[in-house]
Structure 1
Amino acid sequence: MNPALDLTADADEVRPTEKIRCHGERYDAGGGGINVARFAQVLGVPSAAVFTTGGSTGARLAGLVATSGVRCTPIGIRGTTRENFTVNDRASGKQFRFVLAGPSLDDDEQTQCLAAVAQVAASARYIVASGSLPPGASPDFYQQVADVCAAAGVPLILDTSGGGLTHVTSGVFLLKPSLRELRECSGRTLGTEVEQVQAARELIDRGVAQTVLVSLGAHGALLVTASESIRFPAVRVAAVSGVGAGDAMVAGLTVGLVRGWGLTRCVQLGIAAATAKLQTPGTSAYESAEVQRYFAALSAEREFSIRNLR
């Protein structure tokens, strides 16, 4: 709903007030849903991306998506697609991410988006709704997406934050919040794993989602179902960029589901994809061989803990 043309560049040193000379710039198609579609495509699963597009920025974005091999369903809007800017400070090793709010959408444009989702749902195995909602979007827009998916009988995987998450009340097959997003949703600090599991279970008990997968960054992931919780460790690697790692996890997870795998194996593929993504610049896609290498290692180790919830 709120895609972006992602610009990534390096700077020798980021300093206040002074002009920061950047180099090594690259442009990628960005936005949660677009990233998931591109990353799933690399893993061999044909994907379609439904996204808004406006102005010259939107035209360039759509061109980049099409080049990746993903089938495009762009919805024209009156506003101009946003740009996001990431600067890698070589002196400190820190990454600075500048994210714009995006264009405002009116009611007619949102209706067009829902109609496009309904159209692709007719032939989809899964629908992934991912990313922030743009200004003007109805706070319950993702609930409307869930209703469309329910009517089509297609499982919905949702990865969003803020109002887009708190206004969802039902119909999600799998919800993938980060720990920060789960905290925002629950209104609690969730300092322990027990508290994190409890917060995820509350969403399941309320009927918001059947399953919750909490991404924990460097601490791995936490899968919570109606009967158990499973903690997965992360793979330790030197990160080039953290941009898009969560989207890579969703892509790997969804690819596993399309292949008919069990949830545990799907999450392992998601972690492998996220690990491979950490080692690529900007929002560029990973290599499939790298994902398979990490996945093989994770499958062999099987170092995760399972706790019964009842």
Structure 2
Amino acid sequence: MQAPILTLTLNPALDMATGVPQIIPGHKLRCTDPHLDPGGGGLNVSRAIKALGGDSLALVALGGLTGDRLAGLIRAEGVTFLSILGPGETRQSLTVTEESSGKQFRFMLPGPVWGAAERARVFTLLAATARPGGYSVISGSQPPGVPADFPAHLAASMEGSLVVLDTSGAALTEAVRTPIPGLEVLRMDGEEGEELAGHSLETLTDTADFAAGLVARGVAKRVIVARGAEGNVLAEAGRRLFSPAPKVRVKSTVGAGDSFVAAFVLSLARGQDSAQALAMASAAAAAAVMTDATMLCRAEDVMRLMHEAAARDI
């Protein structure tokens, strides 16, 4: 049994990944055949949920010929989705791996600007599709043209839903400054945590203290801070947890955060507790970095790595 999961992607991308022997300024660089994936935070979460054997409904804003091609890639992966008419042309992104060094270069286009009419359509669709008691994931970059408090308006349109927020920049800052009522989960990386804290978070205890402080202020019921290759810290009322990151060979860090969110939400939707969810999420993030380019986690890798990611109290 699994509670309903809804994901929202307002700034998706047609992700292209390729490689070159060496990146040399001013030269024509002969690329390998590109690998195409449907991309964007919430959409990647839905893709990873499917890879892990779960179900979700992805709401995806699509526009233009690129949007049509992106829709075809989503269908090919078997992800259940509803398209939202977005403004302009859906954006593209490019990941280039320099084969001589293994370095990755990521080029992210901004996407079309959203106006009031597009925002109103999203609120209407969310009110109709979000299920009370289900999980709703707001993940990825916010599209140009929306205010910093847009996630709060999105959450307000999904009455009774358990909202998970994984964002960055001004939207993250605003969500911490002005808490979103009833927010279930807030996730961020370590650098974002340090910027919000105003000081370095050198130890697990430092990070746990910061996360617990946000929980105490009512920012979210659960706050997760990723500490990169070290692992992940979670705080909730009366408990602080750490899940170590399994040691794996890194091929690409693209999609690790989305795989983490997918596994965490799916675990909660299946009725597991925070410790179990955190361990599965850390294993999923590690599994994602083992894959090439824009690929996400594989279920067999996640299950194999779970024992290395067992959560413990801080």
Structure 1: stretches of 5+ with no match in the other structure: none
Cα deviation, 1:77-113, whole Å, max 9, x if unaligned, reads 2311111110111111111111112111001101111
Report the CA distance shift for 1:199/1:239 in structure 2 as closer, same or farther (over 3 A).
same
Aligned match of 1:180: 191
Aligned match of 1:165: 172
Cα deviation, 1:173-200, whole Å, max 9, x if unaligned, reads 0111111222233333333333322322
C-alpha distance in structure 2 between counterparts of 1:210 and 1:264, whole Å:
14
Which of 129, 144, 154 is matched with 2:161 structurally?
Answer: 154
Contact map agreement 1:162 1:185 (CA 8 A) in 2 = no
After TM superposition, give the deviation of residue 278 of structure 1 in Å: 1.0
Mapped pair 1:279 → 2:290: yes
After TM superposition, give the deviation of residue 298 of structure 1 in Å: 3.0
Name the amino acid aligned to 2:45: V
Q: Secondary structure at the match of 1:110?
A: helix
Which of 209, 232, 246 is matched with 1:221 structurally?
Answer: 232
Mapped pair 1:255 → 2:266: yes
Contact map agreement 2:12 2:39 (CA 8 A) in 1 = yes
Structure 2: stretches of 5+ with no match in the other structure: 1-9
1:191-270 superposed matches below 5 A:
191-270=202-281
C-alpha distance in structure 2 between counterparts of 1:41 and 1:102, whole Å:
26
Structure 1 length as normaliser, TM-score? 0.92
After TM superposition, give the deviation of residue 247 of structure 1 in Å: 0.3
After TM superposition, give the deviation of residue 225 of structure 1 in Å: 1.4
C-alpha distance in structure 2 between counterparts of 1:181 and 1:53, whole Å:
29
C-alpha distance in structure 1 between counterparts of 2:152 and 2:109, whole Å:
24
Name the amino acid aligned to 1:164: A
Aligned match of 1:106: 115
C-alpha distance in structure 2 between counterparts of 1:176 and 1:285, whole Å:
18
Contact map agreement 1:5 1:28 (CA 8 A) in 2 = yes
Cα deviation, 1:1-29, whole Å, max 9, x if unaligned, reads 21111000011111222222110310100
Structure 1 vs Structure 2: percent identity of aligned residues?
37
Structure 2 length as normaliser, TM-score? 0.91
C-alpha distance in structure 2 between counterparts of 1:245 and 1:124, whole Å:
27
C-alpha distance in structure 2 between counterparts of 1:202 and 1:123, whole Å:
28
Q: Secondary structure at the match of 1:177?
A: strand
C-alpha distance in structure 2 between counterparts of 1:59 and 1:167, whole Å:
33
After TM superposition, give the deviation of residue 124 of structure 1 in Å: 7.0
Say what the alpha-carbon RMSD is for the aligned residues.
Answer: 1.6
Q: Secondary structure at the match of 1:167?
A: helix
Mapped pair 1:298 → 2:308: yes
C-alpha distance in structure 1 between counterparts of 2:133 and 2:295, whole Å:
25
1:53-132 superposed matches below 5 A:
53-122=62-131, 125-132=134-141
Aligned match of 2:32: 23
Name the amino acid aligned to 2:87: R
Report the CA distance shift for 1:127/1:35 in structure 2 as closer, same or farther (over 3 A).
same
Contact map agreement 2:12 2:90 (CA 8 A) in 1 = yes
Contact map agreement 1:10 1:88 (CA 8 A) in 2 = yes
C-alpha distance in structure 2 between counterparts of 1:47 and 1:15, whole Å:
43
Aligned match of 2:142: 133
Q: Secondary structure at the match of 1:251?
A: helix
Q: Secondary structure at the match of 1:87?
A: strand
Contact map agreement 1:29 1:283 (CA 8 A) in 2 = no
Contact map agreement 2:212 2:240 (CA 8 A) in 1 = no
Name the amino acid aligned to 1:219: E
After TM superposition, give the deviation of residue 123 of structure 1 in Å: 6.9
Moved over 4 A (4+): none
Q: Secondary structure at the match of 1:271?
A: helix
C-alpha distance in structure 2 between counterparts of 1:129 and 1:7, whole Å:
23
C-alpha distance in structure 1 between counterparts of 2:268 and 2:131, whole Å:
18
